[in-house]
Amino acid sequence: MSVARYFDEMSYGPAPEADTEARAWLKRHEAGFGHFIGGTFVTPEGGQYFDAVDPSTGNILGRVAQGGADDVDKAGAAARKAQGPWAKLPGHARARHLYALARAVQRNARLLAVVEAIDNGKPIRETRDIDVPQVARHFYYHAGWAQLQASEFADQVPVGVVGQIIPWNFPLLMLAWKVAPALALGNTVVLKPAEFTSLTALLFAEIATEAGLPAGVLNVVTGDGSTGATLVGHGGIDKIAFTGSSEVGKLIREKTAGSGKSLTLELGGKSPFIVFDDADIDGAVEGVVDAIWFNQGQVCCAGSRLLVQEGIAETFLARLKRRMATLRVGMPLDKCIDMGAIVAPVQLERIKSLVATGVAEGAELFQPNIDLPKGGSFYPPTLLSNVHTAATVAREEIFGPVLVSMTFRTPDEGVMLANNTRYGLSASVWSETIGLALDIAPKLQAGVVWINATNLFDAAVGFGGYRESGYGREGGKEGAFEYLKPKAWSGRKARVVSEAVAEEVAVGGFDMPALDRTAKLFVGGKQARPDGNYSRAILSPKGVKVGEVGEGNRKDIRNAVAAARSAEGWGRATAHNRAQILYYLAENLSARAAEFAGRIAAMTGVSKAKAEAEIEACISRLFSYGAWADKFEGTVHTPPLRGVALAMNEPIGVVGVICPDEAPLLAFISLVAPLIAMGNRVVAVPSERHPLAVTDFYQIIETSDVPAGVINIVTGAARDLTKTLTEHDDVDALWVFGTKENATLAEKLSVGNLKRLLVDHGLLTDWFDGQAAEGPILLRHAVQVKNIWIPYGE
């Protein structure tokens, strides 16, 4: 075909990017890529390699080492050796290292972009213009946090050695998302790239060495899923940061249970793309192209569920189909294509299988009549319309260039459809009425919401999901906290559990007997008898019975969770209103301070002075959270675009709380108050051994205008109730303070709906210490951050 013909037809001709330097780099490593450990490439201990394959041709690009336990051991030891000296460097020194990495990425930008394109199959236009610039941006941005660490994170210390496992859809960008904050804040890293796409991680390791990064600070161990599993289970790793499927994320949560490892999970999604009838239709159509056909739809936050208001649905789908016919699928290094290759044949087969399932379940299939390259793993842009909400393709993450569409009538119905998923990663809202868009955004159960836009990312703006899309954030200040731990918690000692005392049985006499009173449960704003009609005796340290409480069971937890779920209006109450109620609680507790102090002294055996000090601390803590209720707010990010991103602190929902035995009322208030201050509803299990002060406290709750269902109290065996709360799918998060066994149990059982956990691993907290038990140290766990992107437009 001649150049003149292209001018006549105004069609695109091929515009291939040169790959000479990339091929030369691969040639230098034709003997095989080793692991990068301790600042140098080393051969795998097992001597095994696997092929890195170009998905657009099926040709072999190189041989990559298969990591085993010995390799992970060596990498962990190198990272541990380097972590102390790296953390002790002044923040300015680490900032200069990250700045050097950013500059090195920019100097090698074209090489990185080409290697990424041929290894992953995505278009060079995306790696060149999106991925690599964002990589540099992350290292620049986090160099700033390193510089400011001493002032901005003065109460935090590094986590230590971090194991990071990244996916194949954005190999280099995911490396930057994880490595940059970890290194900036004094941690060292053992990175496990995806089996399909290891090359840019190895290239980056070379570049980092040339940029002067100290040996052992960054280590790369390649391999398949077994290598990742070995890293997850390694005893020398303090934290695991994982991006990948929800299924693997659940396995990691279960495998790390009881290990004490910190965990960040950025998992799958089935994100809604909501188009209202007043939207700019052509603009929204272009938004769909970016939402689902960017990177061949292999994006965790891809807008794969199109929800269109009925009034414009026919017009919208007609224009979308016409636009699909103009998309070009081609070789990754062609600068004029829209879509490249699927990452591997196995992923291509999964996509084909799910599309066939969708058609079999009644969906209408549309694929434009466009040419696909011969050979390689290619799939056309695909639309499945008239999809039922219960269809497999509406529920399961396809992770390919497949869009499913449904319609809705009203905004409320649109929100219901959008939230009808077990995921909660992202959403896009399209409307020319900004008031409507801003009304819908907070109602969506997603960690990121784009208004009249999609797939906007920046290092300064946190990214992460709700529900089975994982927990933790990457990017922004909230992402920096994921690689730190509170200084006040770093020196905690193991809790010593004292032996249970035997009840001292007194022989009855002829004096007037005391009237028996068994404290009830507190559910839905009312005192309630336990379902099983059993009670347990509460003994003083000397074995004297000081009272009885109800023995809560599974049904009692069910009732308490239902009451908490029905009190969702608490999350919409004004922060001022929540603050006032916390002050009322303090006021009413103060009026009965002597009574509560006496109860604590009788139960626990502490002195009168110590019991009085605990009550004063309780009153002070309620005042503190009354103060924080309208002051622990979000922020406005100003990413490099014409617009803003609002980081909103939202309540998590229904949170279970397991309280420890020490300081029984103060620990209860210290854990419950930050949660309700932020708009959550609570199902609390008081100290198993000393619950009576908390069962007395529900009389304070009843007289302090606390709405029914906001605080629910179920007494009983901590282990049994921990198990029930963890297994309950309507419990969104769980805080477990007490024995290590209970913490391990909660972590192991939380995989059901990946509820967020805060556990103390059996370590003792000083509840009287404000640094360890009050303020942001707990408030950060009482909220989930939603980032709402609002471009200004033209």
How far is residue 629's CA from residue 584's CA, in Å, rounded to a whole number?
13
Whether 787 and 637 have beta carbons less than 8 Å apart is answered as yes
Residues shown for the chain: 794
Q: What are phi and psi of 301, to 5 degrees?
A: -105, 20
- Catalytic residue, chosen from 17, 116, 195, 300, is 300
Structure tokens at 740: 């290590």
Tell how strand 188-192 and strand 402-408 pair up. Answer: unpaired
Structure tokens at 454: 């999609």
What single-letter DSSP state applies at residue 752?
A: G
Q: What angle do CA 434, 437, 438 make, to 5 degrees?
A: 85
How far is residue 633's CA from residue 643's CA, in Å, rounded to a whole number?
20
Structure tokens at 423: 């995921």
Q: What are phi and psi of 402, to 5 degrees?
A: -120, 120
CA distance between the termini of the chain: 40
Q: Give the 3-state secondary structure of residue 632.
A: coil
300 catalytic per annotation: yes
| Cβ-Cβ contacts under 8 Å for 729 (sequence gap 6 or more) | 752, 753
Whether 519 and 691 have beta carbons less than 8 Å apart is answered as yes
Alpha helices in 261-364 (DSSP H): 281-292, 310-324, 345-360
- Which residue has 């971090």 as its token pair? 162
Nearest to 754 by CA among 465, 448, 463, 470: 470
Tell how strand 382-385 and strand 364-366 pair up. Answer: antiparallel
Structure tokens at 643: 């617009």
Whether 430 and 276 have beta carbons less than 8 Å apart is answered as yes
Q: How far is CA 489 from CA 56, 87, 485, 764, 772, in A?
A: 50, 18, 7, 9, 6
Sign of CA dihedral 442, 445, 447, 449: negative
Q: DSSP assignment of 149-212, as one string?
A: HHHHTTTEEE--EEEEE--SSSHHHHHHHHHHHHHHTT-EEEEE--SS--HHHHHHHHHHHHTT
- Catalytic residue, chosen from 195, 266, 614, 774, is 266
Q: What angle do CA 563, 566, 569 make, to 5 degrees?
A: 125
Whether 424 and 465 have beta carbons less than 8 Å apart is answered as yes
| Cβ-Cβ contacts under 8 Å for 719 (sequence gap 6 or more) | 739, 741, 742, 745
Whether 337 and 331 have beta carbons less than 8 Å apart is answered as yes
How far is residue 557's CA from residue 724's CA, in Å, rounded to a whole number?
7
Catalytic residues: 266, 300
